[in-house]
Structure 1
Amino acid sequence: MPHDTTDGDVYVSPRHLARATAVSDPGLDPLRDLGWDLHHDHLGNAYLTAPDGKVRLGYLPEGDDDGLWRVTAYQDAFGPPAWGVCFNDAAPTEFVTAFTNALAEAYRQGPDHYLARPLAGSADRDPFLAVDPLINHGWQLDRPHLSTFAITSPDGLATLEYTIGDLDPAIELETRDARWHLWAGTSSARPFWYATASTDTPAPLLRAVTETLADPAPLPRWRHDSYSYVKGHAQLSPILPPSPPSPTPLDVRRAAASRRPAALPAASVPRWSTTSRPALPGPRR
């Protein structure tokens, strides 16, 4: 189902300061279009499962925490997760949709793509492929700690962190202490929104998110939903209504015809002929 209409009355710039939209369908549609099984629990949470059972997505508005989107992949459908990604309930929906679009494409190509572990030095699997789009758009690389690299947006209000060293897989999947931690705001302790990805998340899936994040185009939102959230940080620009289409030649002719006055009836003019009777003489005085 396409979602190409502008939904909002303002554009939010930079886009990493926009919040989630109220409609989740764009994030679910790429996988539903592949025929993934969809079901709901009694609370209203939605679950999508790939036909081979090796990838699962949970949309969890009634979950135990603020992890609204949780995606996990499995080498064995009945084994532990090979990798996991989480977007919280405020993460811009466009970033989630970028991820699920990339996941749908990887799933079409087979397990060697959606289960491909990052590999340093590989042309298409190097984990730092996810960093390139940000660096190319002016984000700054830093190393705040010996165990962490950080890439920060030009305005300082969005950060992608990469943790070096061994991590506990269970902790990566259940907390924000994951290999990749993407967040926006003035503090990582209380971010505007956040997303995490565990160690073996395929690099192309992460790159799809950072390419969308780095895009300078603003995102449409409703002012009453976003103003208190981004006040003092983001720019809100009114969305102008679209210009009317240019008239066609037929439209011009019809408009001219509608403005032309109706023709008046012809005046009655007496006409004389050789057969006309002469006028009668008037009375004599």
Structure 2
Amino acid sequence: MSHQPDPRHDIDGDVYVTPRYLAASTGIGDPALAPLLDLGWDLQHDDLGNAYVNSPDRRVRLGYLPEGEDDGLWRINAYRDPFGPPTWGACFNDRTPTEVVRAFTTALATAYEQGPDVYLARPVSGMDEHDPFLAVVPLLQQGWEIDRPRWGVFAVHAPDGLAGMEFTTGELDPEAELTTRDARWQLWAGKSINRPAWYATASTDTPVALLTAVTQCVSDPAPLPRWRQDTYSYIKGMAQLTPILPPSPPAPTPLDVQRAVTSRRPAALPAASVPRWSTTSRPALPGPRR
């Protein structure tokens, strides 16, 4: 099955960005909020324009924070005890492709419908679908390469070196995982992890299914549509921008063919200009005299 977008459909953009992990944010949060709102989750706003979404049982909370204290635009936390500390947390900064965030919230919506045993499932090495390294498999299947950038860190990076995912081993500070980039998982795109175009983090106990949804989205070879004038300068220097072709004209119908044939026929002359025979004759004109 081809992954190429179909230009005949309505597309919000005039260029395709390849690779997709350099596409950056669309600047619109609605697509990523939709999977949760479709389940009836509660949506609230503050006076600054930030949005807060809560699950019906108050065990999962999402903040969309364009006016937050840092560049963490999306913050999602889950709780075993609604009044206790978060069990896991994920963060996407303000330049993360909106499709990546939507992949996470879509997987979260699916997990939530299956119950707390799924959306609070703790990763456990060697335990089939809960093995944390399953999240890396979609990247490896698309040619990403294993790396050991420094002690205590397992990583994979894209073939062009412009994106990577790191897994930090050992003990980590639970609070720092939720508030800084010092988290168990970090996904980034750009020239380096120290100068990322965008980044996303996930804490130690983030369910594997949610992480895998993100890596599947990031590694998908299909490009993403964007408006050329809205692309960041770093994209133009690293990504390939391909113009989106205008929609193809629809195939002609039999009626269209009939109309075309009719329009090519010569026009009939007016009835008054067509000579006709008459049953009456005018009197003969007198001939010349001899």
TM-score bracket for this pair, using the shorter chain length: over 0.9
Q: What is the alpha-carbon distance in structure 2 between the residues aligned to residue 171 and residue 265 of structure 1?
A: 90
Answer yes or no: is 1:199 the counterpart of 2:204.
Answer: yes
Instruction: For 1:218, give the aligned amino acid.
Output: P
- Percent identity, aligned pairs only? 65
Segments of 4+ moved more than 4 angstroms: none
| Aligned ranges 1:89-128 → 2 under 5 Å | 89-128=94-133
Map of 1:135 onto structure 2: 140
Decide which moves more: 186-195 or 89-98.
186-195
Deviation of 1:248 after TM superposition, in Å, equals 1.1
**Offset of 1:108 from its aligned partner?**
1.2
Residue identity opposite 1:61 in structure 2: P
Deviation at 1:284, TM superposition (A): 8.6
1:225 is displaced (CA, Å) by 2.0
Structure 1 pair 102–245 and aligned structure 2 pair: CA distance change class (3 A):
same
Q: CA deviation at 1:257?
A: 2.7
Query: What is aligned with 2:239?
Result: 234
Tell me the distance in 2 between the aligned counterparts of 1:278 and 1:88. 99
Q: Which amino acid aligns with 2:231?
A: S
- Residues in 1 aligned to 2:160 and 2:262: alpha-carbon distance in whole angstroms: 57
Unaligned 5+ residue runs, structure 1? Answer: none
The alignment of Structure 1 onto Structure 2 pairs a total of residues equal to: 279
Match of 1:269 among 267, 273, 276: 276
Aligned residue identity for 1:23: I
State which of 12, 17, 20 in structure 1 corresponds to 2:22.
17
Moved more, 4-13 or 74-83: 4-13
Q: Distance in 1 between matches of 2:288 and 2:259?
A: 63
1:48 pairs, out of 40, 43, 53, with 53
**Counterpart in the other structure of 1:151:** 156
Taking the aligned partners of 1:159 and 1:20, their CA distance within structure 2 comes to 18
Q: In the alignment, which residue of structure 2 is the partner of 1:279?
A: 283
- 1:132 to partner: Cα distance: 0.3
TM value normalised by structure 1: 0.92
Cα offset for 1:10? 1.3
Relative distance call for 1:138 and 1:284 in structure 2 (3 A) is closer
Deviation at 1:268, TM superposition (A): 4.3
Structure 1 residues 207 and 264: CA distance shift in structure 2, 3 A: same
CA distance in 2, matches of 1:158, 1:223: 21
- What one-letter code is carried by the residue in structure 1 that aligns with 2:171? D
How far does the alpha carbon of each residue in 1:153-195 deviate from its partner, in whole angstroms, 9 at most, with x for none?
A: 1001111000101111111000000000111122222210000
Q: Distance in 1 between matches of 2:89 and 2:260?
A: 61
Counterparts of 2:239 and 2:115, CA distance in 1: 40
Structure 2: which 5+ residue stretches go unaligned? 1-8
